[in-house]
């Protein structure tokens, strides 16, 4: 076991896109970052090297979070490698288009699993090992306000994770704080069939936040010891419209 005196954060789906911005932000604050990835091994290794070259500390762990066992195993492996975990960022997710009229139940359940139940299991495993303090941030979506009929299963999954955020905040207080960030349109979807990000005019502030804006909000919530059960929208005010488009 590699003992370290540093604060340690596990970021799921941390190798690319918003997850990578979160890893960079945490590493810049002298936090040892565990970059979790599923398929993006070369990006995870490149990010690790980038962080180390900048004077930070990072390591990588591969896991497919398809089951409760694999979620528990990820927490256990990260803990074993670092000797502790102080922060967990539930960033990994899937974003697939479907509707009530055409959803396929297996795909809907897979999406709800990865976006909601897997973060819940990870949180429970993390919290059980953190009796003296820790923090979790869940990545939601501004879609938790309003009804998006074109991303039906995805919207359900993020609303479920919002609910898990509140109940876990209550359940695990005072030892572990649980908060969430709800991004607006940050990056175009990777999944086939996704629509491009809406124009900046769709947000009341007339701009769309960057991955770095999301990372700043995650860092803020991880490190504020008086905040739990909070959802911060980082979306240029898009959620205020209620309706999605």
Ligand X SMILES: NC(=O)c1ccc[n+]([C@@H]2O[C@H](COP(=O)([O-])OP(=O)(O)OC[C@H]3O[C@@H](n4cnc5c(N)ncnc54)[C@H](OP(=O)(O)O)[C@@H]3O)[C@@H](O)[C@H]2O)c1
Which residues contact ligand X by CB under 6 A? 13, 15-19, 37-40, 64-66, 91-95, 114, 139, 141, 183, 185-187, 190
Q: Which is nearer to ligand X, 149 or 190 (CB)?
A: 190
- Upstream peptide bond of 184 is cis (omega within 30 degrees of 0): no
DSSP string, 69-132: HHHHHHHHHHHHHHS---EEEE-------B-TTT--HHHHHHHHIIIIIHHHHHHHHHHHT-TT
How far is 131 from 124, CA to CA, in rounded Å?
A: 12
Contact 145, 100 (CB under 8 A): no
Least Cβ distance, residue 77 to ligand X (angstroms): 14
Q: Which is nearer to ligand X, 63 or 227 (CB)?
A: 63
Instruction: Find tokens 């975990």 and name the residue.
Output: 85
Least Cβ distance, residue 131 to ligand X (angstroms): 27
Least Cβ distance, residue 213 to ligand X (angstroms): 11
Least Cβ distance, residue 3 to ligand X (angstroms): 27
The SS3 assignment for 202 reads: helix
Instruction: Write out the two tokens for 133.
Output: 């303090």
Least Cβ distance, residue 174 to ligand X (angstroms): 27
Contact 200, 237 (CB under 8 A): no
10 Å CB burial of residue 53 (0-12, 13-18, 19+) is exposed
Q: Give the contacts of 211 (CB within 8 A, at least 6 positions apart).
A: 17, 18, 20, 21, 22, 186, 187
Q: Which is nearer to ligand X, 61 or 135 (CB)?
A: 61
Least Cβ distance, residue 40 to ligand X (angstroms): 3
Q: Which is nearer to ligand X, 55 or 237 (CB)?
A: 237
Q: Tell me the residue nearest to ligand X as measured from the CB.
A: 13
The SS3 assignment for 182 reads: strand
Instruction: State the virtual CA torsion across 159, 162, 167, 172 in degrees, nearest 10.
Output: 150
Least Cβ distance, residue 36 to ligand X (angstroms): 7
């Amino acid at each position: 076991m590699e003992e370290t005196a540093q604060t340690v954060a596990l970021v799921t789906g941390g190798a690319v896109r918003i997850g990578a911005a979160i890893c960079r932000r945490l590493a810049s604050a002298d936090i040892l970052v565990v970059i979790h990835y599923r398929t993006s091994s070369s990006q995870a290794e490149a990010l690790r090297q980038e962080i180390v070259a900048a004077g930070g500390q990072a390591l990588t762990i591969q896991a497919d979070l398809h089951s409760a066992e694999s979620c528990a195993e990820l927490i256990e492996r990260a803990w074993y490698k670092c000797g502790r975990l102080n922060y967990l960022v539930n960033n990994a997710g899937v974003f697939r288009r479907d509707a009530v009229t055409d959803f396929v139940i297996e795909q809907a359940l897979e999406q709800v699993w990865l976006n909601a139940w897997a973060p819940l299991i990870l949180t429970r495993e993390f919290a059980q090992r953190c009796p003296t303090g820790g923090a979790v941030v869940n990545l939601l979506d501004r879609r938790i306000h309003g009804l998006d009929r074109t991303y039906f299963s995805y919207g359900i999954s993020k609303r479920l994770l919002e609910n898990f955020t509140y109940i876990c905040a209550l359940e695990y207080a005072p030892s572990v704080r649980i908060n969430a960030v709800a991004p607006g349109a940050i990056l175009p979807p990777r999944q086939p069939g996704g629509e491009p990000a809406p124009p900046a005019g769709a947000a009341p502030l007339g701009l769309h936040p960057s991955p770095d804006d999301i990372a700043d909000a995650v860092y803020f919530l991880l490190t504020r010891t008086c905040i739990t059960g909070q959802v911060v929208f980082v979306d240029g005010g898009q959620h205020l419209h209620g309706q999605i488009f």
